[in-house]
A and B are shown apart, each in its own frame.
Chain A
Amino acid sequence: MTIAIVGVGETDYAFADPRSEPEMVLDAIHRALDDAGLDAADIDGFVSESYSTIRYAPVDEIAQRLRLKDRAFSAQLSLAGAGTVGAPQMAQLAIEAGLASVVVSYYGINLSGRPGSTYAFHASDLAKAAFEMPFGFYGQPVYFAAMAQRYAHEFGLTPEQLGSVAVAARAHAATTPNALKRKPLSLDDYLAQPLLADPLRPLDCCLVNDGAAAFVMTSVERARDLRKPAVVVAGTGFGAKNVNQAQYFSQSSDLLSTAGTISGPRAFKSAGLSPADVDIAEIYDCFTISMLIQLEDVGLALKGEGAAFAASGAIGPGGSLPVNTHGGLLSQSYLVGQNHVIEAVRQLRGERGAGQVPDAEVALVTGLGAQDHATLLLTRDR
């Protein structure tokens, strides 16, 4: 039995939303339920991200506020993007096994209410605090800058190539009603920004904002009776590198690949599809460089050629492989990949108006969570 995503919902993204994570999450879930034509009482399962969600929007709190009498299934697969994009894999297992029939995945984040917390996640690890912070190897831009510098050494990487990723994301965001950064961005604007940590500039980094997003899953059979066209979970893949979270940014044997090299092929195999079948890709873009590396990892560009591919215009509006058609984490919202899944669903339904990619039938979504990685393949129904 295959499953489908039948409802999607997002809060109105904001740099500062006064609401707590649970309040925002409930807003997003209610919007997703309305989109599906389902009621809260239909929900009997949850899959959530495992790092911040279990702390700030735990499932018991969400279920209680939804007035659920029971939860037949609750699971977390992984952290950050690997947890949000990987969620359909857990939901599929639960629905196929008969443990649950309607499974909700949600993510909520309030960074404006916790100054400094964007980086503090890494400070909480004692090994990083002992062996990295004393040398100022701290802050995600610094980690990804070191990665980009090595990429430049191995394969070549110009400022124009990195900038092309930020420019494409902004061009897509311009057609996205719920994108936080919609003002046009030129390559000259990008190049005029001072460096933050060589070779990265602030525009290479994702947004920092507040919001919540949710999607609802059920069997394809039931999905066909619901309000919107079913979007089929055609394939899922999960994989992990053999390092722990503390080691990820310094000790990985190869800083130039993610575990997308594992999750990507697994997802294609489970779907019976290949990279050539993909019409649009929503790639976890916490940084421009991590987007490029994952594009290569899952086989949408050859290793070392992702930067040139992006700079060719292929990933922008009207390109041969539009990437992050909502603007991504760089220009739409830092919703940690939950928003990437939602954008793929809307594209496959044909709901994206000015941002619609014509005839999009197969969407690939990736989610990075340090050493963990998830790839998701979604298709139109039948």
Chain B
Amino acid sequence: MVLPVWDPPAEATFAEPFWAAAREGRCVLPRCSVCGDWQWYPDSAGPGCPGATYEWEELAGTGTVYTFTVVRRSFLPDQRDRAPYTVVLVELDGAAGVRLVGNLADGAEPRIGLRVRAGTDRDAATGHVQPVFRPIEV
């Protein structure tokens, strides 16, 4: 197993709070400052309520795998052979209706319903830090 290496685009400034936290293994998500609804995904247009901004709130970073796939050939440009890796869609505790896309840490067996916690993985060779989900030991 490997992990993808792909940075979020610099022009996606609306993603900066998420990534700053994610690189520390924490999980923050935006809510609408007016109605309080989770706004996932945020984008450059902002929340729907007039005059609203994004308010970022920290969550426990735990959740449940809704679905997954083991990608055996990467479609990222120039990364065809950087595989296999596991993508998970995680339903986060405390943020109903939100699914976070992420990777499952190396060595973990994916399954729907798996309980996971957000963390990070550092590639020793490249220094690249990737947010990952790890199974919660029960």
Contact = CB atoms under 8 A, between A and B. Distances in A.
Contact of B68 (A146, A195, A251): A146
Given A119-B75, A126-B12, A136 B66 contact: no
A145 B101 CA distance: 14
Given A131-B15, A251-B40, A136 B76 contact: yes
A149 B69 contact: yes
A198 B70 CA distance: 5
Contacts of A56: none
A196 B73 contact: yes
Contacts of B103: 135-136
A342 to B, nearest CB: 30
B95 to A, nearest CB: 11
The 3 closest A-B pairs by CB, nearest first: A139-B75, A136-B4, A130-B15
A135 B87 contact: yes
18 contacts: A119-B75, A126-B9, A126-B12, A128-B41, A130-B8, A130-B41, A131-B18, A133-B4, A135-B101, A135-B103, A136-B83, A138-B75, A142-B75, A149-B67, A196-B73, A247-B40, A250-B99, A250-B101
B69 A145 contact: yes
Nearest to A252: B99
Contacts of A119: 75
**Most chain A CB atoms below 10 A, which of B19, B44, B70, B97:** B70
B98 A129 contact: no
Interface of B: 3-4, 6-9, 11-12, 14-15, 18-19, 40-44, 66-77, 79, 83, 85, 87, 89, 97-99, 101-103, 112, 130
Contacts of A312: none
Contacts of A133: 4, 6, 8, 76
**Most chain A CB atoms below 10 A, which of B6, B11, B41, B42:** B41
A99 B41 CA distance: 40
Nearest to A150: B67
Interface string A236-274: 000000000011001101010000000000000000000
A126 B101 contact: no
Interface in A164-219: 194-198, 200
Nearest to B102: A135
Interface string A131-173: 1111111110110011101100100000000000000000000
Contacts of B11: 126
Main secondary structure of the interface of A (DSSP, over half): helix
Given A247-B41, A251-B99, A253-B97, A153 B87 contact: no
Contacts of A98: none
A282 to B, nearest CB: 28
B75 A141 contact: yes
Contact of A251 (B4, B41, B70, B76): B41
Contacts of B68: 146, 149
Given A135-B4, A253-B97, A130 B12 contact: yes
Interface of A: 116, 119, 126-139, 141-142, 145-147, 149-150, 153, 194-198, 200, 246-247, 250-251, 253, 255
Contact of A131 (B41, B66, B74): B41
A194 to B, nearest CB: 7
B96 to A, nearest CB: 11
Given A130-B12, A150-B112, A246 B41 contact: yes
Contact of B101 (A116, A137, A200, A253): A137
Given A129-B12, A136-B103, A246-B43, A255 B98 contact: no
Nearest to A143: B69
A147 B6 CA distance: 23
Contacts of B44: 126
Given A134-B7, A134-B8, A135-B102, A127 B70 contact: no
Nearest to A198: B70
A298 to B, nearest CB: 23
B9 A146 contact: no
A136 B74 contact: yes
A131 B103 CA distance: 12
B29 to A, nearest CB: 11
Given A132-B101, A141-B75, A146 B4 contact: no
A126 B18 CA distance: 14
Given A126-B12, A250-B89, A197 B41 contact: no
Contacts of B101: 131-132, 135, 137, 250
**Most chain A CB atoms below 10 A, which of B3, B89, B112:** B89
A246 B14 CA distance: 14
A247 B19 CA distance: 18
A133 B75 CA distance: 10
